[in-house]
Amino acid sequence: AIQMTQSPSSLSASVGDRVTITCRASQGIRNDLGWYQQKPGKAPKLLIYAASSLESGVPSRFSGSGSGTDFTLTISSLQPEDFATYYCLQDYNYPVTFGQGTKLEIK
């Protein structure tokens, strides 16, 4: 199975900060990657698909980049509602695998 390694595991930041979360695949996955936001007690929400395409309705402060093995999620200016846990996942091949998550907390 392809391993997805996210970093950092946790991150403290302030409203207005620019933050970047990275995801590294154990082998090349083209751009077959999505980014998700999960808040406590809720299902994950799709933010970015195909590594860099913004899901409809998601604010433009979220952006994704990368291809192959290295990917990033960037939030350009943190808003209070952005404090959550973020996951990447690959569906390049089966089994679909997720990163371990990055918990974004208020500084």
Partner 1 sequence: QLQLQESGPGLVKPSETLSLTCTVSGGSITSSTYYWDWIRQSPGKGLEWIGNFYYSGTSYYNPSLESRVTISVDTSKNQFSLKMTSVTATDTAVYYCARRVGGSIGAFDIWGQGTMVIVSS
Q: Which of 36, 37, 66, 78 binds partner 1 (CB under 8 A)?
A: 36
Q: What is the DSSP letter of 82?
A: G
- Provide, rounded to whole angstroms, the least separation between the CB of residue 65 and partner 1: 14
Q: Does 67 help bind partner 1 (rule: CB under 8 A)?
A: no
Place of tokens 């402060």: 61
> Scanning residues 87 to 106, which ones bind partner 1 (CB under 8 A)?
87-92, 94-101
Q: Does 21 help bind partner 1 (rule: CB under 8 A)?
A: no
As a whole number of angstroms, the distance between CA 61 and CA 94 comes to: 31
As a whole number of angstroms, the distance between CA 66 and CA 71 comes to: 4
As a whole number of angstroms, the distance between CA 44 and CA 15 comes to: 22
Query: Which residues of the shown chain bind partner 1 in the complex (CB under 8 A)?
Result: 1, 30-36, 42-46, 49-51, 53, 55, 87-92, 94-101
